[in-house]
């Protein structure tokens, strides 16, 4: 996109501050510290000017400038901050407090409200603590489930993406002992549909090639090591393949990554959380992005957590946050192009 377009045309990318005792504020400030980002978008931070200025000062990042969001007006050539709570909340990097959990939820709520009103074009979520955020209003395993419930509510796909590898999971935040009964033919087909469509619409890949991993060691070894691969996964793949989609598998997960097979595909569908996330984070740790595919809105996040152990030390790496912000921008552009063409 040329930076000559008018400021009003630039997408407004919301960024929720996450847990202010974690590394969220630090990676947000560092990712937005390069003013060139304003040539492409108007970043809108949902959180608190106090928290941002606290970390800006603590880390001596005085070049980082922002403006208050007031009177329902965004300032297009600057980073905007929407204050989402009024009370004084003590910042104590690395500690887990209920007040900070409640604050991270307020930031999330405000961003969702603005998304629903069409005031922002996409949202990037900094990490929350999945325990201290729980309340009467937030009873979710994480961001993915919360956004799915708030937008369309049907189904979504936890899609981890980077330049080199994209991995989706059939089952997300559930205990391992519940995985096999949740892996159904219907669910695999649903996730494959979301993944295939997202690769086309959000990532601009016209005929995506998708690999599907088996559930059991050696993809069940012809039923010797479990029947799901032959009875559930294979029929799901065949059904999607018969509709003309390029879907292959099931592949034994270990050799698939070990031999670099993933490089021959545009994306990989794993059966459960760690099966997909361990290879993904090993291969793409600093620049991976978690994208919630299948929703009407665009939501990305860095692929790391609150990292309390390094919070407040000015050593957090902002690459994943920067990638998440630019991916939200790219997906917005791709979807806008698609709309024009249709």
pTM of the model: 0.94
Which of 7-16, 23-32, 275-284 has the lowest average pLDDT? 7-16
Q: What is the pLDDT of residues 288-330, one digit of tens each?
A: 999 999 999 999 999 999 999 999 999 999 999 999 999 999 9
Model confidence at 6: pLDDT above 80: no
Q: Is the pLDDT of residue 285 over 80?
A: no
CATH topology identical between 1-156+295-342 and 157-286 = yes
3 pLDDT exceeds 90? no
List pLDDT tens digits, range 27-81. 999 999 988 999 999 999 999 999 999 999 999 998 899 999 988 899 988 999 9
Please give the CATH topology (third level) of the domain spanning 1-156+295-342: Isopropylmalate Dehydrogenase (3.40.718)
> CA–CA separation, 125 vs 127, rounded Å?
6
The encoded tokens of residue 274 equal 């760690």
- Residue 250: is the preceding peptide bond cis (ω within 30°)? yes
Output the average pLDDT for the chain. Answer: 94
Q: For 180-204, write each residue's pLDDT tens digit.
A: 999 999 999 999 999 999 999 999 9
pLDDT over 80 at 342, yes or no: no
Residue 4: pLDDT band (50, 70, 90) is very low
pLDDT digits (tens, 9 = 90+) for 138-173: 999 889 999 999 997 788 999 999 999 999 999 988
Average pLDDT of the residues in 89-96:
95
The dihedrals phi and psi of 304, each to the nearest 5 degrees, come to: -120, 170
Domain ranges of the chain: 1-156+295-342, 157-286
The CATH number corresponding to 157-286 among 3.30.1520.10, 1.10.600.10, 3.40.50.1820, 3.40.718.10 equals 3.40.718.10
Dist CA 332 CA 204 (whole Å): 11
Which pLDDT band, with edges at 50, 70 and 90, does 8 fall under?
Answer: low
- For 117-133, write each residue's pLDDT tens digit: 999 999 999 999 999 99
């Amino acid at each position: 996109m040329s930076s000559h377009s008018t400021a009003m045309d630039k997408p407004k990318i919301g960024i929720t501050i996450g847990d202010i005792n974690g590394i969220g504020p630090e990676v947000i400030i560092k990712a937005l510290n390069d003013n060139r980002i304003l040539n492409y978008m108007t970043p809108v931070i949902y959180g608190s000017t106090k928290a941002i200025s606290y970390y800006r000062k603590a880390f001596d990042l005085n070049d980082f400038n922002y403006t208050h969001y007031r009177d329902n007006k965004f300032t297009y050539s600057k980073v905007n901050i929407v204050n989402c709570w009024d009370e004084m909340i003590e910042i104590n990097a690395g500690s887990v407090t209920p007040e900070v959990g409640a604050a991270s939820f307020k930031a999330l709520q405000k961003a969702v409200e603005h998304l629903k009103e069409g005031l922002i074009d996409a949202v990037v979520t900094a990490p929350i603590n999945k325990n201290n955020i729980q309340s009467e209003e937030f009873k979710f395993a994480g961001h993915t489930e919360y956004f799915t419930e708030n937008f369309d509510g049907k189904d979504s796909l936890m899609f981890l993406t980077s330049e080199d590898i994209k991995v989706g999971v059939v089952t997300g935040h559930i205990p391992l002992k519940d995985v096999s009964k949740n892996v159904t033919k219907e669910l695999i087909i649903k996730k494959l549909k979301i993944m295939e469509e997202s690769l086309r619409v959000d990532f601009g890949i016209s005929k995506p090639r998708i690999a599907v991993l088996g559930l059991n060691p050696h993809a069940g070894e012809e039923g010797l090591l479990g029947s799901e691969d032959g009875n559930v996964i294979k029929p799901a793949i065949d059904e999607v393949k018969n509709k003309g989609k390029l879907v292959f598998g099931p592949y034994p997960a270990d050799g698939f990554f070990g031999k670099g097979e993933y490089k021959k595909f545009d994306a990989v569908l794993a059966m459960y959380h760690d099966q997909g996330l361990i290879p993904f984070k090993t291969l793409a740790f600093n620049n991976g992005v978690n994208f919630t595919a299948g929703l009407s809105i665009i939501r990305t996040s860095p692929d790391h957590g609150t990292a309390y152990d390094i919070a407040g030390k000015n050593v957090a790496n902002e690459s994943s946050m920067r990638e998440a912000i630019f991916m939200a921008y790219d997906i917005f552009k791709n979807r806008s192009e698609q709309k024009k063409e249709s």
